[in-house]
Amino acid sequence: MQTNLITEGAITFEAEGAFYNPKMLLNREINVAMSLSLGLTDYLDALSASGIRGLRVAKEAGVEKVSFNDINPHACQLIEKNLARNSILGTVTCSNANVLLHERHFQAVDLDPFGSPSSYLSAASRSALSYLFITATDTAPLCGAHLMSGIRKYMAVPLRTVYHREMGARILLGLAARELARLDKSMQPMLTHVTDHYVRTYLRLTNGAKAADRCLRKLGYVEHCPACGSFRLMPEAEPEGICRHCKGKTRLAGPLWLGGIHERETIKTALGWDGLGHRAQKILSTCAGEIEAPMYYDHHSICERLSLTPGKIDEAIERLIERGYQASRTHFCGMGIKTNACMTDVEMAIRPD
């Protein structure tokens, strides 16, 4: 196996092409910051490849017990070598992740698969005692570009909308909430970001049937109007109807997670780690400033539809706040406006006086 020597963060390690994706550096960097802020003690990198994710958690977040697993024996050899090179003690298993996750419990389980995490979610929900971290790179099914695949993998109907990045995150969270609820567990997302072509979420877990019931009540549907881009959140599925804003025919997406996706204080603590690069800092600060209202309006497409020359997004947000609404920017999209106002009020805030 032809390997290269790579340095990422505080780790120098060996990897070969299929086992190392440099585009995920930001994902791993934020992972170290979150692991540090949570004070983890026991972490499983369930799909390790070269082991870089777990190695960084061990060295840079100082997590005492880090376990590595990969089904591929070459990957396991690499992990052993990389542990020795960095003088880190860790346990390495070469199992099918689903088998390991059914056999053992870990304080924190990290799923970072090629593509969809859906086939590991059930076992990971069982194994994880306090935290479950998930990456999904199958954004096409999650965001509604591949409808049937989305339905099969996530047991939900996704829709391709201007806020498709958040749609994808909430479809994934919706499945996680249901998988956990089957085991009488509930979840509280601490950070959820969609960056490049993946969704990444950090979930805090709690045991108990009552909490799981409360969690399931945070699932719901989104009625979306493809004609004007307005949307409405609904606790129950309803027949597709007529848009209140433009009278267009609406479509329904869901079930998906309509609860909070960030914990501001945890993100602020994570921001305190000095190993974060500029882009990661920016993503985390924007996430910390996001209001809780699900989905967002796209400033640019509204201006286009109304034939307006786009003004400043921040000014539109200010006007919404002056009128008593909650409003913020969003890391999901540079043109996005998160608000609890309806389309008519957003249009008023965007139009020059």
Q: Which does 53 bind (CB under 5 to 8 A by kind): Zn ion, ligand SAM, none?
A: ligand SAM
Smaller CB separation from ligand SAM, 74 or 351: 74
Residue 108 partner contact from ligand SAM, Zn ion, none using kind-dependent CB cut-offs of 5 to 8 Å: none
Reported for 97-106, long-range contacts at CB under 8 A and 24+ positions apart, including other chains, are 97/46, 97/47, 97/69, 97/71, 97/123, 97/124, 98/123, 100/44, 100/46, 100/69, 100/127, 101/46, 101/126, 101/127, 102/126, 102/127, 105/129, 106/42, 106/43, 106/44, 106/67
Nearer to ligand SAM by Cβ, of 21 and 186: the residue is 21
Q: Name the binder of 71 from ligand SAM, Zn ion, none, CB < 5-8 A by kind.
A: ligand SAM
Shortest distance in whole angstroms from residue 250 CB to Zn ion: 7
Which of the listed partners (Zn ion, ligand SAM, none) does 330 bind, with a CB threshold of 5 to 8 Å by partner kind?
A: none
Query: What residues contact 315, with CB distance under 8 A and at least 6 apart?
Result: none
**Is 55 in contact with 13 (CB distance < 8 Å)?**
yes
Q: Please report whether residue 155 would count as binding Zn ion according to CB under 5 A.
A: no
165 versus 224: smaller Cβ distance to Zn ion: 224
Question: In terms of CB distance, is 44 or 350 closer to Zn ion?
Answer: 350
**Degrees, nearest 5: CA angle 69-201-254:** 120
Residue whose CB is less far from ligand SAM, 28 or 262: 28
Sign, CA torsion 178/32/289/193:
negative
Q: Which range touches Zn ion (CB under 5 A), out of 25-33, 51-59, 220-228, 274-282?
A: 220-228
Which residues contact residue 261 at a Cβ distance below 8 angstroms, ignoring those fewer than 6 apart? 169, 170, 173, 189, 191, 192, 201, 292
Kindly tell me which of 44 and 243 has the beta carbon lying closer to Zn ion. 243
CA 303 to the chain's CA centroid: 29
245 binds Zn ion (CB under 5 A): yes
Tell the smallest beta-carbon distance from residue 311 to ligand SAM (Å).
41
**Residue 222 interacts with Zn ion (CB under 5 A): yes or no:** no
Q: How far is the CB of 212 from ligand SAM (least distance, A)?
A: 27
User: In the block, which residue shows the tokens 């963060």?
Assistant: 9
d(CA 306, CA 308): 5
Positions in the binding site for ligand SAM (CB under 6 A)? 19-21, 24, 28, 47-50, 52-53, 69-72, 75, 96-97, 112-114
Interface ranges with Zn ion (CB under 5 A): 225, 227-228, 230, 243, 245-246, 248
